[in-house]
Amino acid sequence: MPNILITADPRQTRELDLAEELALCYASPLRFVLMAYPWGEEHGHLAREAGPDQWQTAFLKDLGREVRERGFDGANAVPAVRMAVASGHGIGKSTLVAWIVNWIMSTRPFSQGTITANTFIQLQTKTWAAVQHWTNLCITAHWFRMTGNRMYHRDYPAKWFCSAQSSRPELSEGFAGQHAATSTSFYIFDEASAIDDKIYEVAEGGLVGGEPMIFLFGNPTRNSGRFHKVTFGSARPRWNHRSIDSRTSARSNKEQIAAWENDYGPESDFFRVRVRGLPPNASELQYIDLGRVNAAQMRERETLPDEPLVAGCDVSAGGAAWNVVRFRRGLNARPGADVPAPIRLAGEVGTREVMITKLADVLSRRAPAERVAMLFVDSAFGAPIVERLKVLGFDNVVEVNFGETHTPDHHFANMRSYMWNEMKEWLSRGAIDRNDEKLEVDLTSPGYHLNRSQQLVLESKQEMQARNVEPVDDADALALTFAQPVAPARPPERYQPPRGGSWMS
């Protein structure tokens, strides 16, 4: 009698085969990455890709070695895997983050993870977007569900997950309470140089049980803080760390790097941070630090009766840029009873005619809380708008040339640098909207350098665009309110001595 072979459900067979292969990837993230994605498949997303870049391969091999050295047995806790990468721009950090997430989630049942970044916009549009993209390509994509801020196993949503979490210091409790005693609790910090040290402190609480892991990535924009200590300072012995020069990456934009080298020089702080993956010689590359912005978000300021309402308008050239009008009254730029909410129109919507109508409406307001004492407009694309407003009879509108080299202070190369410095100083005392993520990102985006005349030069919009930074229209609009002093809305009453008697009566 011939043998009869009874076969299982083909889908179950495939899942068993997949599970066996993933078991072989437990301590080999490189094997996982090469197996889990459709490299080189014709007409696929990776049709022209053969696998990780050289630096990514070295990182994944090191990660596998770290896992093997600890030998987690599923019960007895092991020391945390701690890995950090300081790098230049455009080398594929977000892609590596996504691979790490997919590897951990696919090879470690009931793992729990948290991903954060320096800003909510960076987290949503870059870091988490990369996780979503690579998860969709992953061979285990059908195991998981993805939302705007969470990835979880379909059958165990509360026990097997990874979440995107804001790094705002006041939300640090979101990093507490994450434990996976029989699996892996992991944290990933993107653009880690600008993340507050308080977040690191809370995250450490999730690294005490099971097989914990923590990964830090970013441009080293500061020569202080936890990320600097890990990659270049006193904490280095406890971490597997490396610094990656963008020039060595196959994926970086070599033409842009050459332009930066020509414009800034290979020893400049800009080139050190954005290309070489080294910390700046100055205290930080960001012109306005996140701590200053966060303090302004939390501060309360009342306005005085005679403080003028000043408006700034950054006019878009179209495309991704926005037309933005922002308001400030003295030390208060937070929308409320005394400060109108900002006006934002997309570049393709806010045509010249629309902007003239909108600004004429702003200048026509007569309610005390909305009466604008002076409107400053960026002249690059706003000069015709200013001219038309003056024809309409508005004399409280001024054209400002960002590139003007004759500034009130010779230490600044142009008016934009001067106004941003005024705004930076103001932020140490002023108040801005707590919940305006766009303004927060804008304020902390530009770098700076000193020119040959030792004048401060703020990083231009074109330079930021070259490193994939969104236009900073909201911050430029607020900066315009510092173009020149504006007289009080009404002069204070003159002192009148008492009538009759002496000055002592």
Model pLDDT, residue 496: 45
**For the range 337-345, what are the long-range contacts, defined as Cβ-Cβ under 8 Å and sequence gap of 24 or more?**
337/369, 338/303, 338/309, 338/369, 339/303, 339/309, 339/369, 340/309, 340/369, 340/370, 342/474, 342/477, 344/473, 344/474, 345/316
Q: Which residues contact 373 (CB under 8 A, 6 or more apart)?
A: 308, 309, 310, 396, 486, 487, 489
143 in the same domain as 19: yes
What are the backbone angles phi and psi of residue 465, rounded to the nearest 5°? -60, -35
Q: In the predicted model, what is the mean pLDDT of residues 258-273?
A: 90
Determine the average pLDDT of the residues in 463-471: 81
> How many domains is the chain built from?
2
Mean pLDDT over 472-490 rounds to: 90
Structural domain includes residue 306: yes
- Same-domain check for residues 203 and 347: no
Q: Is residue 273 part of a domain?
A: no
Reported confidence tier of residue 500, pLDDT bands at 50, 70, 90: very low
CATH number, domain with residue 223: 3.40.50.300
Instruction: Name the band, by pLDDT with cuts 50, 70 and 90, for residue 369.
Output: confident
- pLDDT exceeds 70 at position 3: no
Band of residue 320 on the pLDDT scale cut at 50, 70, 90: low
Indicate whether 500 belongs to any domain. Answer: no
Last residue within a domain, chosen from 233, 252, 271: 252
Q: In this predicted structure, what is the pLDDT of residue 494?
A: 45
Q: Is residue 445 part of a domain?
A: yes
Which of 260, 114, 252 is closest to 195 using CA atoms? 114
Is 382 domain-assigned? yes
Do 246 and 304 lie in one domain? The reply is no
Residue range of the domain that includes 437: 290-480
Q: How many CB atoms lie within 10 A of CB 265?
A: 13
Instruction: Judge if 204 and 304 occupy the same domain.
Output: no
> Which of 252, 276, 303 is where one domain is finished?
252
Same domain, 324 and 439: yes
At 9, the pLDDT band (50, 70, 90 cuts) reads low
Give the model's pLDDT for residue 489: 58
Kindly state whether residues 246 and 295 are assigned to the same domain: no
Q: Note the pTM of the prediction, 2 decimals.
A: 0.80
243 and 388 in a common domain: no
In a domain, 265, yes or no: no
Percent of the chain past pLDDT 70, that is, above it, reads 93
Please report the pLDDT score of residue 490 as a whole number. Answer: 54
β-strands 150-153, 161-164: how paired?
A: antiparallel
- Please determine, for residue 483, whether its predicted confidence score (pLDDT) is greater than 70: yes
Residue 21 confidence (pLDDT) above 60? yes
CATH number assigned to the domain comprising residue 304: 3.30.420.240
Least confident span in 89-93, 109-113, 413-417, 489-493? 489-493
Q: What is the pLDDT of residues 156-197, one digit of tens each?
A: 999 999 999 998 887 788 888 788 999 999 999 999 998 989
| 497 pLDDT above the threshold of 70 | no
Q: Same structural domain for residues 215 and 323?
A: no
Domain-embedded: residue 8: no
Question: Is residue 5 in some structural domain?
Answer: no
pLDDT value of residue 4: 39
Q: Which pLDDT does position 267 carry in this prediction?
A: 87
